[in-house]
Amino acid sequence: MSPLLSVRDLRVSFGGVKAADGVDLDIHPHEVVAVVGPNGSGKTTFLNLCTGYISPQRGAITFNGESIARLSPRAITRRGIARAFQIPQLFTGHSLLENVMLAVAARHGIWTARRPLAHGSTREEAREMLALLALAELADQPTASLPEGQRKLADIAIALALKPRLLLLDEPTSGVSTAEKSALMDTIVTVLRAEKVTALFVEHDMNVVERYADRVLVWDAGRVVVGGAPAEVLRSAMVLERVIGIA
């Protein structure tokens, strides 16, 4: 099966810091891949490169057979890559339902004033997405008043409402209590599987990685140092020492 996302010799540096130093990787359709690594190893930079927030100085990023390395975030979004952020990016002046409806409308084409945003099919689709993520009861709440775990889910609901082929999640469980992490990830991964969305998520909690990822990529100093099944990779001496911090 040909990869959905293919990255070759990706390089970018900020001053003397190499945030991506020859990254090579493939993500295949329907995989859920975790990215782990110490702080500053280039994980979020990689997401920024894949979503057009920054452009690589060298290398290739191919999505679904098309080069996306120099495209803008919105052009990349339109091609089927959506993103959820470490700090949820919501429209705080709108309700949760309106946030998701805006995403649904963005997918259908925003350039219309012929019908209201809360048009029947848009509203229905948004409500269905909220129901999938167990947020239906909060639909009319202003997003600014939501607790962190639900703000994370709301951010993911917005991204999923775009019906992406690839979803990039930056630390979906950060800022969420240990007790809530499993419930949050259960919900996310169930929806990803149901919607057949390929996903790549940055994560610091190795229990989450081991439980939910099909594959893990270990990042260090701007490159992938090892990758494979979580059960094997997370027990290797090098990963224990450099990533988890057990000598």
Partner 1 sequence: MRLGHILFLAVVAALAPLVLPWLGFVLTLAVGKGLAALGVALLLRAGLISIGHALYLAIGAYATAFLMQGGVTSDLVLLLAAATVITTASGLLVGLFMVRYRAIFFAMLNLAVSMVFFTALSKLYHLTGGSDGLRVATPTLLGVELDRATFDSVLNLGALVLMVGAALIVDRYLKSPLGEALSAVETNEVRLEYLGVPARGVILVAYATSAALAGLGGAITAVAIGHVVPELSYWTLSGQLVLIAVLGGIGGAPGAFIGAFFLELVRTFATGIAADAWNAIIGIALLIVIFFLPEGLYGIVQRLGRPRPAA
Q: Which tokens is 151 given? A: 């703000």
Q: Least CB distance from residue 75 to partner 1, whole Å?
A: 8
* Closer residue to partner 1, CB minimum distance, 93 or 147: 93
Q: Least CB distance from residue 92 to partner 1, whole Å?
A: 5
Q: Least CB distance from residue 156 to partner 1, whole Å?
A: 13
* Closer residue to partner 1, CB minimum distance, 1 or 111: 111
CA distances from 46 to 67, 93, 122, 149, 244 (A): 16, 30, 33, 24, 20
* Closer residue to partner 1, CB minimum distance, 69 or 168: 168
* Closer residue to partner 1, CB minimum distance, 36 or 199: 199
Q: Least CB distance from residue 202 to partner 1, whole Å?
A: 16
Q: Which tokens is 165 given? A: 């082929």
In the complex, which residues of this chain contact partner 1 (CB under 8 A)?
51, 72-75, 77-78, 82-83, 89-94, 98, 101-103, 105-107, 110-118, 122, 158-159, 162
Core vs surface per residue 105-140: b (16+ CB within 10 A) or e:
bebeeeeeeeeebebeebbebbbebbebbbbeebbe
* Closer residue to partner 1, CB minimum distance, 17 or 110: 110
CA distances from 137 to 95, 128, 171 (A): 12, 12, 25
Residues 196, 31: Cα–Cα separation, whole Å:
9
* Closer residue to partner 1, CB minimum distance, 13 or 86: 86
Residues 196, 164: Cα–Cα separation, whole Å:
10
Among the listed residues 31, 28, 73, the one whose alpha carbon sits nearest the alpha carbon of residue 48: 73
Q: Least CB distance from residue 64 to partner 1, whole Å?
A: 16
Q: Least CB distance from residue 144 to partner 1, whole Å?
A: 9
